[in-house]
Chains A and B, each alone.
Chain A
């Protein structure tokens, strides 16, 4: 059974691609066959985050238009054997995607026996974002703990429950998860940032993971390494928890409280 997961948010710059790359990597590291697709036609970024930007010859639009086979366009990850990237086209615009075209590619991936297909959605609520979520079985809504991101996520959750294939068929709902990124417990404690509980209460769905704010995210992006692969990083641990929970494991929430300072640090204000 293939599960299609969309990583979406509405708002731009909240960490969709970072999240999609890390989730895909985490699943693939558990020996699942994973394909990750960049739906951001014209502004492709996933290939950079995955560190395969110089290996892109054919892209998603090429496959849809029949210029090449899916096999030719899938880029095999160099670190994890079971992970494949389908890059977006940089030279086209979002109108190059069609529902039938996307369906055809997803069906081929399903027939090929992939366990997971991770769809990295573009920002916004236009055609590209709509197509990224349309076929999803599960949605990870990435949200920053601030009001505009929360409102946009609310809008996306509305679309997930009305504009997807599952919603149209009226069967089982798309499983929805919240994933908070750029979370800074110190600023939450100081009342400068919304807490995970605040966000959860407003949006009314369970939190899959809280990803702490960290410079590791930027350095991993620049190095073309999905941040989940930086073993020592809290961000990597938080994403690993998210993957475990996606696969049904029960793990306690981490990184939502300010780390307790040691006695000496408290004494000397370290």
Chain B
């Protein structure tokens, strides 16, 4: 006799599906675990919801010397202590493959794999293998049609944020890409939350309390009359935030 649960189940017990998931990459420039914990914790504290139990891929390409498995274990522990989870190593050199095997962790292929810079001799030793398929993904903008109320935070991870309604004072609209607000914008706007310096902020009716792009911010204690209530865009010019009217 089959149990109720079994008879209710259709198809095989395990389904394997292929698809893309967005994954943050952590590129380390040191293997000093304490420095990494400190640095990452600061970022996590700045946006705790953003990083809450986030899966990350560890990118070793910026290290000067090749790390040992022991070092990478320490680094992974450090990252976990900061609240993130290392789920694999970023695709790179042969040495990384070896390291990954030793650590029993997967190697994750980047969409645009960084070509191995190692000596050609090392490359020749490798078995010819099919090139990983290059996929260009487009993360659609996060659309917000409802008003964003005071105290509410809307975050568009890995994408732009489009708000077609109003953003109240004390509300926060955050995107890794650009922020577009088509209603009155009275709250805080944060673009390039992960450091994208080309991100911009566009507001149809600008009355923001605070504007930040890639960590550079400006508080508007009083709104300049030429911007208040006007269509405005903000962008980063070096270390300076610039503001200008859109249209006339």
Contact = CB atoms under 8 A, between A and B. Distances in A.
B219 interface: yes
Given A66-B45, A90-B150, A44 B219 contact: no
A55 B169 contact: no
Contact of B210 (A57, A65, A91): A57
B152 A91 contact: yes
Contacts of A54: 209, 219-222
Interface in B59-115: none
Nearest to A55: B221
A91 B151 contact: yes
Nearest to B152: A91
A65 B45 contact: yes
B182 interface: no
B45 A90 contact: no
**A42, A43, A90 pick with most chain B CB within 10 angstroms:** A90
Contacts of A43: 151
Nearest to A78: B221
Interface residues of A, number: 13
Interface in A33-73: 42-44, 53-57, 65-67
Given A44-B170, A66-B45, A90 B217 contact: no
B151 A42 contact: yes
B219 A91 contact: no
B46 A67 contact: yes
Nearest to B218: A57
A43 B217 CA distance: 24
Contact of B217 (A44, A55, A57): A57
Q: Interface majority SS on A: helix, strand, loop or mixed? A: loop
Contacts of B210: 57
Contacts of A55: 219, 221
A56 B219 CA distance: 8
Contacts of B118: none
Q: How large is the interface on B (under 10, 10 to 19, 20 to 34, 35 or more residues)?
A: 10 to 19
B160 interface: no
A92 B137 CA distance: 33
B87 to A, nearest CB: 26
Given A54-B222, A57-B219, A90 B46 contact: no
A67 B220 CA distance: 21
Contact of B170 (A65, A66, A67, A90): A90
B30 to A, nearest CB: 22
A57 B171 CA distance: 13
A47 to B, nearest CB: 9
A55 B217 CA distance: 13
A123 B67 CA distance: 55
A39 to B, nearest CB: 15
A151 to B, nearest CB: 30
B176 interface: no
A67 to B, nearest CB: 5
Contact of A90 (B151, B221, B222): B151
Interface in B12-47: 42, 45-46
Nearest to B46: A67
Contacts of B222: 54
A57 B218 CA distance: 9
B153 interface: yes
Contact of B169 (A53, A57, A65): A53
Interface in B143-192: 150-153, 169-172
**B153, B170, B217 pick with most chain A CB within 10 angstroms:** B170
Contacts of A56: 209
**A43, A65, A91 pick with most chain B CB within 10 angstroms:** A91
Interface string B188-219: 00000000000000000000011000000101
A10 B209 CA distance: 32
B140 to A, nearest CB: 25
A53 B207 CA distance: 13
A57 B220 CA distance: 10
Contacts of B45: 65-67
Interface in A82-96: 90-91
B209 to A, nearest CB: 6
Given A44-B170, A55-B221, A91 B153 contact: yes
Contacts of A91: 151-153, 170-172
6 contacts: A53-B209, A55-B219, A56-B209, A65-B48, A90-B170, A91-B151
Given A54-B219, A67-B46, 5 more contacts: A53-B169, A54-B221, A55-B219, A66-B45, A91-B171
3 cross-chain pairs, A with B, having the tightest CB-CB distances, nearest first: A90-B170, A90-B151, A54-B221
